[in-house]
Each structure stands twice: as C-alpha cells, then as structure tokens.
Amino acid sequence: MGRLFMKLMKTLFASVLVWAFLLSSAQAQEFEPNYDESKVPDYELPDPLTFSDGSKVNTPSEWEKRRKEILRLFENYVYGKMPGKPENLTFEERKNIPDALDGLATLKEIRIHVKQNSQKHHFDLLLFIPNKPKKPVPVFLGLNFDGNQSVHPDKNITITDSWLRNDEDCKIYNHKATKDSRGCSRTRWPVERILDRGYALATIYYGEIDPDFDDGYQNGVHPLFDEQYLDTSRGNNCASIGAWAWGLSRGADYLEQDPAIDNEKMAVLGHSRLGKTALWAGATDQRFDLVISNCSGCGGAALSRRQFGETVGRINSSFPHWFCENFKKYNQNEEELPVDQHMLMALMAPRPVIAASAKQDQWADPKGEFLSVKHAAPVYKLLGKKGLPVEEMPVINRPVYNTTGYVIRNGGHDLNNYNWEVYLDFADHHFDYNRLLNQD
C-alpha cells in the first residue's frame, strides 16, 4: 500500500514537473518582440480632438472638457484613479546643510509624512539647491531607482532603509542598501552640473512610496488609500505607477512652498518605468510646468498600437502591479484601447514636454515615442503652441523642439549626461531662464 502510494506520488510529481516545464517554455516562446517596421500592424489612432460622442473640439474651452474626458479614460483603462492630497500631510526638515558639496549647494532632506484612514507612512525627499543664485530657482523633480544615497556619494545623504531590488552593481543585497551603494547611480544624476546651471534637483526613492513588487497593494502608501482606489474588481484601481505619481505630487506639495524654489518652474522627469510615472504625474498634476520622459517605452511615451518591442500584454504579465486591472483587457488587443499614448502627451498641453529615446533601446520603441509626441501636435496648435518642428524622426543626437520635443541619442536604455544637457537646454528655453549666476 505504502509502496503503491509512493509510486503514485512520484508519477504525479513527474507529470506536474513536465506540465510546468511545457507551460513555461510555451510562455517563453509565446512572446517574440517585433523589431521589424514592416510587421507593425495597420492602426488608427483615436483623435484627441474628437469627443467620445463623435463631436469635434474646436476651441480651447472645448479642449478643457475633452481633456477631462481623456484623463478619465487613462484613469479607467490604463493607470487607475489616484486619490488627491491626503488629509494630513506634514514636512519634517531632517537636514539642512548650507555648505554642502564644497559650498556649491544647500542640501536638505525633507521627510514627507502622510496620514490617512488611521494609517501613516513617510518618504524622504532629497533636495540640492544651488547657492549661487540669490533668488528662487527652477527645480527638476525625479524619482530614483536605488535610494537617495545612490544619487551622489556625499556622506550627508541618508541611506534608505526601505526594500530595494537586489543589484550587484549598486551593492544592494538582501533587498537592503549598503554603504557601498552611495553614489552608485551618479552617472544618471550629474548633480554638480545641474547646480552649476542654476537648477535645484529634488529626488525621492520610488520604493519608499511603494516597493516595486506585486504584493496585492498591501505595502507602501497603498494602505492609506480609501477602498475605492484599491478595489481591483472596479478595474480602475490605483496600481504602482499611480502610487509613484501620487508621491511625485506630494514632492510638488513640498517644493511649491519652499521659498528657495521658483514654483512656477517645476519640471518632472523620469527614466524608464519612472518615465512612465513622470508622464502620468505631469498629466494629472498641472503644477508640473515641464515634463520629461526618458526612455519610457510601453505604457509611457510609446504608442501601444504599434506593438513594437515591449507590448501591453508583455508588460502586464511581467509587471502585473504597474497598471490598473482594466489595462489587462488590452493584452494582445491594443486596437480596442480607447486611448493611445499620444493622448497622454496631449494632456501636458500647453506645457512643454519632451521625450527621449536611445538608438539601442528598441524594446522601448523609439519611433513609437517620436510618433506620440508628433500626434499630440493638433492639441498644442489649438492652444496656440507649436508641436515638433519636423515631420520625420530626427537623426541621432539632434534634439528637435518647439513646445514639444524629441531626441534620440546613441547608446542604450539609460539616463546620462547627454540627456541632462538636452533637458537643461530645453528647460532654459521654456523657463526663459536667465541664469544671472555671474551677475548676482
């Protein structure tokens, strides 16, 4: 009896293994990214200037109504609906070092405390303010991937004690940052250069807002949100990108009341998944005066309907916690999406927005990123602004912009000095920023 049972169990175990293997290899084979332009399906983009009932948008005030409609569509079908400002929000200045970086900057650390529904949570904003200009300065706000201490090796910066993805290059083990992780992502954050050009830089570790793994929205800020924002059966739940974007808005809540900051010149930027987040923050929070998407790809600047590189189905299966439940209805079904990403770009209008791609980052579909900026132009035009100055994709390393901009650089999926030079120029141009640095 015992032997028969063991035999049965063994056979069962073996067949489970075979099935698991077959299933995983089928799944692995299932997704073959398309990198061939001739295999991009024919598609028709929804018109940002046509209401859902078919009537046309002819005036800026009609656009305001259509803008709300598009925002609802992105909330309901892509990113989910975010709560607003929490009941209780306080800023605790934990550090204020006036002569940081050899006197170049004032370094501040602000702990942002949020309380709601008898739950509390906090996350830290690291802020560098250039000392030279004797007036409020414009600011770039962006989330970082590896903790505030990864942005610059300065020992004054507090090492995050939150959960992180393990990363050998950044010396992050057992999901904790080590002191060797100081400055590990500094190539993405040329702090001194940004300060030299008269800008402040603010950053928050995204995992302090919501750790980046699929936990059923139990950790990070999610438990503070009312049930309606968490209920996945509603389809438009606030998933992780929504929570990170919500965190960016709390960063803006702080920045707009810091007297050292010019709160009419606040730029939001992000790379990759955090580029998707920066776009969603820019769309939902118009206090961001300028929006920057760096290699944001699928679910960011790239048009979903092109299905080039990463697709909706692929991103939703790799990262089921990034977008709302309803977005999954469009896996392998992009043509039914009520929006596409050019409409996300259009939500920035009339504010400046720029998207950057990298030549080797085909996964993020550079052409799809270009096209979504291009197809946002009619909305900018209606509001008296100019879209891109070109019809076709520009050559490598040649930024093109009016109020909307695009650049593709050499190299791979990254945020680097070249990108920052473009963003600083773009910001100078739009903020009409006379850097009176030498005249003070």
Query: What are the CA-CA distances from residue 70 to residues 48, 314, 408, 419 (Å)?
Result: 8, 24, 28, 29
Give the residue with the Cβ less far from ligand GTR, 237 or 316: 316
Element (H, E) at 160: none
Q: What angle do CA 433, 434, 437 make, to 5 degrees?
A: 120
**Least distance in Å: CB of 276 to ligand GTR?**
7
Does residue 79 sit in helix, strand or coil?
Answer: helix
Out of 113, 175, 413, 429, pick the active-site residue.
413
Neighbours of 384 (CB within 10 A): 9
| Helix, strand, coil abundance in the chain, percent, nearest 5 | 40, 20, 40
DSSP string, 3-67: HHHHHHHHHHHHHHHHHHHHHHHHHHHH------GGGSPP--PPPTTB-TTSPBP-SHHHHHHHH
Give the residue with the Cβ less far from ligand GTR, 134 or 359: 359
Give the residue with the Cβ less far from ligand GTR, 273 or 430: 273
**Least distance in Å: CB of 322 to ligand GTR?**
8
Give the residue with the Cβ less far from ligand GTR, 279 or 388: 279
Among the listed residues 57, 184, 298, 376, the single contact to ligand GTR using CB under 6 A: 298
Give the residue with the Cβ less far from ligand GTR, 315 or 343: 315
**Least distance in Å: CB of 7 to ligand GTR?**
44
**Least distance in Å: CB of 316 to ligand GTR?**
11
Q: Is residue 315 a contact point for ligand GTR (CB under 6 A)?
A: yes
**Least distance in Å: CB of 156 to ligand GTR?**
28
Buried b (16+ CB within 10 A) or exposed e, 401-429: bebbbbbbbeeebbbbebbbebbbebbbe
Q: Is 429 a catalytic residue?
A: no
Q: Is residue 208 a contact point for ligand GTR (CB under 6 A)?
A: no
Sign of dihedral through CA atoms 283, 287, 291, 295? negative
Q: Is residue 207 a contact point for ligand GTR (CB under 6 A)?
A: no
Question: Tokens 């912009």 — which residue?
Answer: 401
Query: What are the CA-CA distances from residue 6 to residues 3, 11, 20 (Å)?
Result: 5, 9, 21
Give the residue with the Cβ less far from ligand GTR, 315 or 358: 315
Out of 272, 293, 296, 304, pick the active-site residue.
272
Q: How far apart are CA 111 and CA 123, in angstroms?
A: 6
Per-residue tokens: 84: 């607003």
Candidates 342, 318, 316; CA nearest to 330 is 316
CB 311 within 8 A of CB 328: no
Cβ neighbors of 439 (< 8 A, separation 6 or more) are none
Neighbours of 52 (CB within 10 A): 12
**Least distance in Å: CB of 297 to ligand GTR?**
5
**Least distance in Å: CB of 354 to ligand GTR?**
18
Give the residue with the Cβ less far from ligand GTR, 130 or 297: 297
Q: Is residue 310 a contact point for ligand GTR (CB under 6 A)?
A: yes
Q: How far apart are CA 316 and CA 235, in angstroms?
A: 14
Give the residue with the Cβ less far from ligand GTR, 211 or 387: 211
Q: Is 272 a catalytic residue?
A: yes
Q: Is residue 419 a contact point for ligand GTR (CB under 6 A)?
A: no
CB 290 within 8 A of CB 427: yes
Among the listed residues 297, 366, 399, 405, the single contact to ligand GTR using CB under 6 A: 297
Sign of dihedral through CA atoms 188, 191, 195, 196? negative
Which range in 11-19, 110-118, 254-262, 310-318 contacts ligand GTR by CB under 6 A? Answer: 310-318
Q: What is the DSSP letter of 76?
A: I
DSSP string, 275-313: HHHHHHHHHH-TT--EEEEES--BTTTB-GGG--SS-HH
**Least distance in Å: CB of 293 to ligand GTR?**
11
Give the residue with the Cβ less far from ligand GTR, 267 or 315: 315
Q: In the window 244-273, what residues touch ligand GTR (CB under 6 A)? A: 272-273
Sign of dihedral through CA atoms 85, 52, 303, 417? negative
**Least distance in Å: CB of 238 to ligand GTR?**
18
Q: Which residues are catalytic?
A: 272, 413
Residue ranges binding ligand GTR (CB under 6 A): 272-273, 297-298, 310, 315, 318
